[in-house]
Amino acid sequence: MTSRIIVFVATIQGILFGAHLFVYETWRFFWGPLGSPGDIILASAVGVLSVSFVTATLLAHRYSNPVVRGFYRVASVWLGVLNFCFVGACVCWVVYPVDLLIGSTVPRRDVAGVLFGAAVLASMYGVINAASLRVRRISVKLPGLPESWKGRVAALVTDTHLGHVRGYAFISRIVAMLRQLRADIVFISGDLFDGTKADLHRLAAPWKQLSPRFGSYFVTGNHEEFSDPAKYLEAIQSSGVRVLKNEKVNVDGLQIVGVPYGDSGNAERLRSILEAVELDRESASVLLAHVPHGLKVAEQEGISLQLSGHTHGGQIFPFTWFTSRIFGQQTYGLTQLGDLKVYTSSGAGTWGPPMRVGTQPEIVLIQFE
């Protein structure tokens, strides 16, 4: 396990080195030398920044104090800026040969200034957009839904990633919003925590202020399962939220099933779990599973509605494009697969860069028809 972690960290760091070098060399080619000591300062800054996120992440998994949190936040923001600078650098090398072919007199410095400036502006917008939490309202009609549930509202919260970037104030804000929205039941489909070192009980405590009529229910995401999830589950349960682990609960006639991240990834394992809970196929059911996969199995086993997150909708461009290639139409929003409805939320928080460009953070209100 240790050797795999070392290889993984080394691979990520190698990719970041390459990205920084590409951006640095592109800037120097298009902008030109800064002169001494400007070139030395720039090269040194790029060198430090290239190791900042990996270093901050390693520290964040071991320590939680103002210095580490501040360092992690700065490194996370820079990671987002790097993303857009990398895109800008790529566009520079697309524009440059075109300019040569058409005999353009636009100075290379102007090309770099516009594209790298746009990268900075995109980063600023991304930070502001990620902090602007929206309420998304949808309605679903489920066969076999008890009459008592028609008109009731469920809230879906996922991917808050509480830790070194989003913390107590963020989750308190979400809970305050939920109290105003007055949902009848609350679903939390994983990655409540980011997996970094934190005061878990303090971060989970705001949930005590929420008392939906039919309770709150949680399943683990991949970030709760990076290590032993017991400490996360203890904090969540102490806040009054019920953790569902491969089980079904019947809530006033509505069947709610929760499958943890690690068990939902294997189709046969998922099938055996759904068979074991003995669903009533004539009655409506809701499956909480962090990732929108295993959908054919869920549909075949009679699930009416699956609620997931994980994808963040791609969070920031161009990862929005990559994510859509992986998850297809289940990347975000309400979709249909046979008799199964699936809602994949873009999540309330962020991972890595505290930015969103091309996506929006959300709490989802689901009205049952």
Do 196 and 68 share a structural domain?
Answer: no
Specify the number of domains making up the chain: 2
Alpha-carbon torsion angle 271, 272, 276, 280, nearest 10: 20
Output the pLDDT for position 34: 84
Alpha-carbon torsion angle 46, 50, 51, 54, nearest 10: 150
Do 159 and 211 share a structural domain?
Answer: yes
pLDDT for residue 261 is more than 70: yes
Do 346 and 235 share a structural domain?
Answer: yes
Query: Alpha helices, DSSP H only, in 167-318?
Result: 168-181, 200-204, 230-238, 261-264, 267-276, 295-300
DSSP code of 62?
T
**What 3-state class would DSSP assign to 157?**
strand
Do 228 and 355 share a structural domain?
Answer: yes
Do 178 and 88 share a structural domain?
Answer: no
Output the pLDDT for position 256: 98
Do 170 and 99 share a structural domain?
Answer: no
Q: Which helix (H) or strand (E) holds 341?
A: strand 340-344
Give residue for tokens 């746009």: 118
At which of 80, 108, 130 does a domain end?
130
Sorting pLDDT into bands at 50, 70 and 90, what band is 177? very high
Sorting pLDDT into bands at 50, 70 and 90, what band is 262? very high
Do 286 and 162 share a structural domain?
Answer: yes
At which of 99, 130, 161 does a domain end?
130
Q: What is the pLDDT of residues 201-234, one digit of tens each?
A: 999 999 999 999 999 999 999 999 988 899 999 9
At which of 109, 130, 151 does a domain end?
130
Do 58 and 144 share a structural domain?
Answer: no
Neighbours of 180 (CB within 10 A): 8
Q: What gap in Å lies between CA 332 and CA 310, rounded to an integer?
A: 10
Q: What is the pLDDT of residues 150-161, one digit of tens each?
A: 999 999 999 999
Output the pLDDT for position 104: 77
Q: Which residues form the domain of 19?
A: 2-130
Do 210 and 355 share a structural domain?
Answer: yes
Q: What is the pLDDT of residues 298-339, one digit of tens each?
A: 999 999 999 999 999 999 999 999 999 999 999 999 999 999
Do 261 and 187 share a structural domain?
Answer: yes
Alpha-carbon torsion angle 132, 133, 139, 143, nearest 10: 140
Q: Which residues share a beta bridge with 137?
A: 365
CATH, residue 195: 3.60.21.10
- For residue 298, give the nearest of 230, 289, 202 by alpha carbon: 289
Do 146 and 175 share a structural domain?
Answer: yes
Q: Taking a C-beta distance cutoff of 8 angstroms, is the pair 135, 363 a contact?
A: yes
Output the pLDDT for position 1: 52
Mean pLDDT across the stretch 16-41?
93
Q: What percent of the chain has pLDDT over 90?
A: 91
Mean pLDDT, the chain, whole residue set: 95
Q: Which residues share a beta bridge with 255?
A: 250, 285
Do 252 and 155 share a structural domain?
Answer: yes
